[in-house]
Amino acid sequence: MSRFYRGFFIFWIVWEHGLDDLVLSNVRQPWLQSIGRFLRFRRDLSSPRGVRLREALERLGPIFVKFGQVLSTRRDLLPQDIALELAKLQDRVPPFASEVAVATIERAFGKPVGEIFSHFEHEPVASASIAQVHFARMKNKEGQDVEVAVKVIRPNMKQVIEKDLALMRTMAKWLERLSQDGRRLKPIEVVAEFDKYLHDELDLVREAANAAQLRRNMQGLNLVLIPEMYWDYCHQEVIVMERMNGVPISQVEQLKSAGVDIKKLARDGVTLFFTQVFRDGFFHADMHPGNIQVSLEPESFGRYVSLDFGIVGTLTEFDKEYLAQNFTAFFRRDYKRVAELHVESGWVPPKTRIDELEGAIRTVCEPYFDRPLKEISLGMVLMRLFQTSRRFDVEIQPQLVLLQKTLLNIEGLGRELDPDLDLWSTAKPFLEKWMIDQMGPKKLWEQLKSEAPRYAKLIPELPRLVHDYLHVPRSAGLNEEVLKLLQESRQTQRTLMRIIWIGFGFVLGLVVMQWITQVG
């Protein structure tokens, strides 16, 4: 019954704010026009359509606000008036009462706010779908008075999200049973992924841990600033972090007037994204403009300032390698390799004809090469690829849905900063270097170092393993354990031979260099 009431509430909000009018206003079928005229009965639709859409999403709750945030980054796909209104969902969702925020902080840390902070601003500086942020001052461990940002979760968020997720699960089951694309689209798995990310976002300690991991990963890159967490004041409902100063990335004119190189900023954004995805397999997955600023401080001028780490994406080594090979083949216009990778990964049925899939991918992608970003809509490319995927029965990969969403965010951000940015040529050198690092001597050396403890333990056992192998009766056969040990010994032997040859070459090189020096 709760799902029924929630479904009715959603329908009521859609009707009350006239969202049906946005859909049915341009239809030509007479019966749909009649429905539209009936639904317009006794409603005040005097407010602009963008305002009505934003207010409806705010009333419907955090999941719908998230949806509006994603849409707001794609101004190329939306009318300008709607895009401008949805942009307000990034950090200007109506706040909850500051008294509630103070009570949550005091309950989390078991002491009055005045004992934690030397100053606390009751007026929130930003308010989003899941939490809101207040600025404050406090003493750090060294006794210094520092500026901090205090993030407080919205009250009763879990109950609201659970209702919407239950409704989404029901709709996913219907889609899987009734739609021909149900099995291929994997709606139940996609909703499960969404469920996991939303619940992760409700745990602010997890967000603090995500921020700490990203901060470590990005050290030395000198492209982004990530706030430090004050772990003594991190709770599931409240986290206290270093206050960051920057200009929202959406304020492009202000950044230009301050002297920021906007084209470089756009290129740096692409570099950051691909570094997090392919080098680390751990990426910021909520990169809408409300979470990104640019520093104007002299020591960090022009760097990104990243905020809000409630949603991060992770990729396995298999996912990274598969995606990197796909991107690299795509940038080289090697559509046959892209088709082969789809078959090898099991994304398409094994009986799929490579030449047919290759031709379909070429038809979609080839028209978009060598064009600036302003002439390309990645959203349209993905839509055409999606249509192609239906023809070849490509299965949707739920673990990559978040990556696809983030890629759309990145394209929207790049389009805002530099419409002439060539997304492909900017990313191509990075991915080719990554592939070399994955398959070259550097990767081999890293694997040797990581496996060294196991090899050191195994080497003394080699004589016994060989003795056991030679004395096993042929009629008895080899059990699984002996086979496994034999395989490990062979791998170890091959690795040792590589090390010996590398060492021999290194020594030989030193001898030759010394001889050349003496002769010279």
Residues with catalytic roles: 286
Tell which residue, 341, 313, 434, 422, has the closest CA to residue 378. 422
- Say how far apart CA 121 and CA 109 lie, in whole Å: 18
- Say how far apart CA 226 and CA 304 lie, in whole Å: 9
Residue 440 amino acid letter: G
- Say how far apart CA 167 and CA 60 lie, in whole Å: 13
- Report CA 398 to chain centroid distance, whole Å: 13
Inter-axis angle of helices 204-218 and 187-202, to 10 degrees? Answer: 90
- Say how far apart CA 417 and CA 250 lie, in whole Å: 8
Q: Are 69 and 86 in contact, with CB atoms under 8 Å apart?
A: yes
Residue 274 backbone dihedrals phi, psi, to 5 degrees? -70, -30
Which residues neighbour 356 within 8 Å (Cβ) at sequence distance 6 or greater? 392
Place of tokens 């906007």: 262
Task: Give the DSSP H or E segment for 147.
Answer: strand 145-153
- Say how far apart CA 213 and CA 309 lie, in whole Å: 10
Which residues neighbour 263 within 8 Å (Cβ) at sequence distance 6 or greater? 417, 418, 420, 421
- Say how far apart CA 249 and CA 243 lie, in whole Å: 17
For residue 226 the two structure tokens come to 């990530």
Residue 281 amino acid letter: G
- For strand 145-153 and strand 229-234, is the pairing parallel, antiparallel, or unpaired? unpaired
Q: Give, as one character, the DSSP assignment of residue 151.
A: E
- Say how far apart CA 51 and CA 48 lie, in whole Å: 5
- Report CA 25 to chain centroid distance, whole Å: 35
- Say how far apart CA 277 and CA 286 lie, in whole Å: 13
Assign 3-class secondary structure to 280-341: HCEEECCCCHHHEEECCCHHHCCCEEECCCCCEEECCHHHHHHHHHHHHHHHCCCHHHHHHH
Alpha helices in 112-155 (DSSP H): 113-116
Sheet containing 247-248: which strands, arranged edge to edge?
224-225, 304-306, 292-294, 247-248
Task: Give the DSSP H or E segment for 243.
Answer: none
Length of the chain counted residue by residue: 520
